[in-house]
Amino acid sequence: MADGKEESSLNKNVPRFNGMNFATWRPTMCAYLQMIGAWRLTNGTATFPADAADQATWRLLDDRACGSMSLSLGPHYNHLVLEEHTNPGPPVVVLAGARWTWDSLNAHFGAIGTAGVFSNFSTAVKFKIHEIDNVPAKLGELDGLFNLITTLNLGKNLRAMIMLSALPDSWDQLTSTLLGTIALADLTLSTIIPRIHKESAHCKEHSSSSNRLNVIKRNTTSCDICHKGHSMQNHWQVPLTALRAHAVMPMEEDVDAATTTTVMDEEVTLIVAKEKEELTL
């Protein structure tokens, strides 16, 4: 497997394989394998050596090549990474796992055969746009998938329905509106894409306004208790004499000054505790 630096370089220079970008993935992965010295093993030029020490080096390069492809293929396609294979012969031939993997990928995705068409179709029907995605860009990506499966002759309304099902879940209202106002025969990409773009622009504008409002709220200090221009924390720092003015004074004439002060302080404590309790309810 690739080490940390190699993985970083891999992620930076080789696009993650998604089943439909083999035409761009293949040359960049080839360049990466050349960079780490594993390409000649991958394309079959470097055959299995006879010397034991050279065999260990050969297998290490095979592991690095297979590990790099596995990381780039991701969880949905790394089952296509194959292990070293020995042909019992005669003659006995040892083929690198990297070569097996490379040949298999070319067979599946190099030419758009039945497997390639199915892969693109499967990716299209499972396509999902998320809230944080750039919706117009994602629509273009999905439309590109449709162009790769033209041999299936999918109906225009079926393509439109696949695109609507790919929208974020929070856009269900728009989907319902479009399906309720457009006849099935008229349901095409050309009729729904402008409406989707309009909704996307509206969502961006709403998000921008909400962000500005949140900034204003954060910059405006207001006490939740008295609604004055100080923080709630500072509300409890009101001078003790001011709070004492709200306390109930003892009426007994035989209470001395020390006792009066103690009673007032207890009343102040009760007032503060009561206000805090009301705030938390």
* Confidence class for position 164, pLDDT limits 50, 70, 90: very high
Inform me whether the pLDDT recorded for 189 exceeds 50: yes
Distance between CA atoms of 27 and 25, rounded to whole angstroms? 6
Residue 86, CA distances (Å) to 43, 94, 142, 173, 201 in order: 16, 4, 41, 58, 58
For 112-142, write each residue's pLDDT tens digit.
778 778 888 998 999 999 988 889 888 888 8
Inform me whether the pLDDT recorded for 79 exceeds 50: yes
**Residue 120 · residue 148 · CB < 8 Å:** yes
Residue 14, CA distances (Å) to 10, 67, 96 in order: 5, 14, 22
DSSP conformation class of 16: P
For 109-118, write each residue's pLDDT tens digit.
877 778 778 8
Inform me whether the pLDDT recorded for 21 exceeds 90: no
Distance between CA atoms of 12 and 27, rounded to whole angstroms? 14
For the ranges 37-51, 54-68, 165-179, 237-251, the lowest mean pLDDT is seen at: 237-251
Residue 233, CA distances (Å) to 222, 225, 237 in order: 10, 10, 8
More confident residue, 3 or 60: 60
For the ranges 19-28, 162-171, 187-196, 225-234, the lowest mean pLDDT is seen at: 225-234
Inform me whether the pLDDT recorded for 181 exceeds 80: yes
Distance between CA atoms of 165 and 252, rounded to whole angstroms? 79
pLDDT at 2: 46
Distance between CA atoms of 260 and 234, rounded to whole angstroms? 27
> What value does the mean pLDDT of the chain take?
78
pLDDT at 94: 79
Q: Containing H/E element for 253?
A: none
Inform me whether the pLDDT recorded for 149 exceeds 70: yes
**Residue 193 · residue 223 · CB < 8 Å:** no
Residue 109, CA distances (Å) to 16, 76, 106 in order: 15, 14, 5
Distance between CA atoms of 152 and 150, rounded to whole angstroms? 5
pLDDT at 253: 47
